[in-house]
Amino acid sequence: MIKVFLADDHQVVIDGIRLMLSEASDLLFVGGANDGTEVLRRLHTQEVDVLLLDINMDGMNGIETCRAVHTRHPQTKVLILSMLKEAGIIKLMIKNGASGYLLKNAGKEEVLQAIRKVASGKTHFSPEVAEAVMASLSSDPPREKTSLFPDLTRREKEVLRLIVDEYTTAEIAEKLAIQFGTVETHRRNLLVKLGARNTAGLVRTCLEFGLLDP
């Protein structure tokens, strides 16, 4: 029996997947969560073979969650279930440990087969996903902007631009005439919003997706 857990911030999606899995004799729905923090808490005490994971979630997003699950629970395979089909995001999720990527318009049979394939150690990518990645590899277009990242505030963009320009926290505080602690708060918020672990990750993500472009 393949134990499946779903992380999605829409309860209707969780309920729909639960119903879908109830009709498959070899698949068992073992739970759902609305954010990444809850996923990690549940995985700490619960055996899960396949984690179906959305990317756009409040709180801890799918990027951070995928990376954390891959690191802390390598026995759990991650299968992305998202509406996002930008090649940059797809490749980022694969880099962070995802074994497959499904679009939310996938049919029932594709979803079930994808879960089985990923559980057995194989990979699965929706046709549109595979096409997007192949198209990005066959040409060298400018990095695409993406709807994944929440809108940054004006101040967050100012802080991010200075981080990219290699200003220290103290220098940013002085330049923007704000408190040192306020800069640190903006930095932490940027790490969460962009799914980065450190300053280098912030810079890489910013440049890759042109987040400061006009």
pLDDT digits (tens, 9 = 90+) for 184-213: 999 998 888 887 777 777 777 776 666 765
Domain that holds residue 174: 154-209
Distances (CA, A) of 66 to 140, 150, 181, 213: 27, 18, 29, 27
Q: Which residues contact 83 (CB under 8 A, 6 or more apart)?
A: 103, 104, 105
Distances (CA, A) of 162 to 191, 194, 204, 206, 210: 15, 16, 14, 12, 15
Residues 95 and 182 in one domain: no
Residues 37 and 71 in one domain: yes
Q: What is the pLDDT of residue 161?
A: 86
Q: Which domain CATH number covers 97?
A: 3.40.50.2300
Question: Where a domain ends, among 138, 169, 200?
Answer: 138
Specify the range with the lowest mean pLDDT, choosing from 19-28, 93-102, 150-159.
150-159
Give the model confidence (pLDDT) of 94-116 as tens digits.
888 899 999 999 999 999 999 99
Question: Where a domain ends, among 138, 164, 197?
Answer: 138
Residues 110 and 196 in one domain: no
Residues 7 and 78 in one domain: yes
> Could you tell me if residue 146 is inside a domain?
no
> Could you tell me if residue 50 is inside a domain?
yes
Tell which wins on pLDDT, 44 or 208: 44
Q: What is the pLDDT of residue 165?
A: 78
Residues 163 and 120 in one domain: no
Task: Report the phi/psi class of residue 54: left, alpha or beta, with left for phi > 0 and alpha for psi in -120 to 50.
Answer: beta
Question: Where a domain ends, among 112, 138, 164?
Answer: 138
> Could you tell me if residue 51 is inside a domain?
yes
Q: Which residues contact 163 (CB under 8 A, 6 or more apart)?
A: 172, 187, 190, 199, 202, 203
Quote the mean pLDDT of the chain: 87
> Could you tell me if residue 134 is inside a domain?
yes
Residues 119 and 169 in one domain: no
Residues 82 and 187 in one domain: no
Residues 183 and 114 in one domain: no
User: What domain count does the chain have?
Assistant: 2
Give the mean pLDDT of 19-38. Answer: 95
> Could you tell me if residue 214 is inside a domain?
no
Residues 87 and 179 in one domain: no
Residues 133 and 161 in one domain: no
Give the mean pLDDT of 123-151. Answer: 68
Q: What is the pLDDT of residue 16?
A: 95
Residues 102 and 32 in one domain: yes
